[in-house]
């Protein structure tokens, strides 16, 4: 008897199809990790949670595809580790349309998007 997809699995498949991406096991599992977590994930975080199923290259390529298609965005950090977080609905096909700040908790070391905080426009002097 075929297994019935859960609501979260259906959402993952819907998001992938919306971006005209093939529905592969690696894409489904990695996107599911983002939907299950409120904060950002690093490549290492994803490797710990899905590394037994997929190799580093598959994870890297999946993340890059998701960034290119506007599913996730990159977050640079002070320790030079790139973190990734889900994009909001307004992003598409490599055009990230959100400007927001990120909060890094020093206790749990998680990174969170602060979408509701308006980023100020800073005008630099000429030459900068």
Task: Report all structural domains of the chain as residue ranges with CATH numbers, in order of start.
Answer: 7-114 (1.10.10.10)
Closest CA to 82 of 36, 106, 125, 46: 46
pTM of the model: 0.74
Range scoring the smallest mean pLDDT among 14-18, 34-38, 72-76, 95-99:
95-99
pLDDT in tens, 77-92: 777 788 888 887 666 6
Backbone φ and ψ of 43, nearest 5°: -55, -40
Please count the residues of the chain: 128
């Amino acid at each position: 008897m075929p297994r019935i997809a859960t609501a979260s699995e259906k959402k993952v498949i819907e998001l992938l199809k919306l971006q005209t991406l093939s529905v592969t096991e690696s894409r489904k599992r990695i996107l599911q990790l983002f939907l299950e977590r409120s904060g950002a994930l690093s490549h290492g975080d994803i490797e710990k949670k899905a590394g037994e199923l997929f190799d580093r290259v598959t994870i890297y390529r999946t993340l890059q595809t998701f960034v290119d298609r506007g599913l996730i965005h990159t977050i640079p950090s002070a320790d030079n580790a790139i973190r990734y977080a889900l994009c909001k609905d307004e992003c598409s096909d490599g055009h990230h349309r959100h400007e927001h700040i990120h909060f890094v908790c020093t206790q749990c070391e998680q990174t969170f998007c602060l979408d509701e905080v308006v980023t100020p426009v800073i005008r630099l002097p000429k030459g900068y």
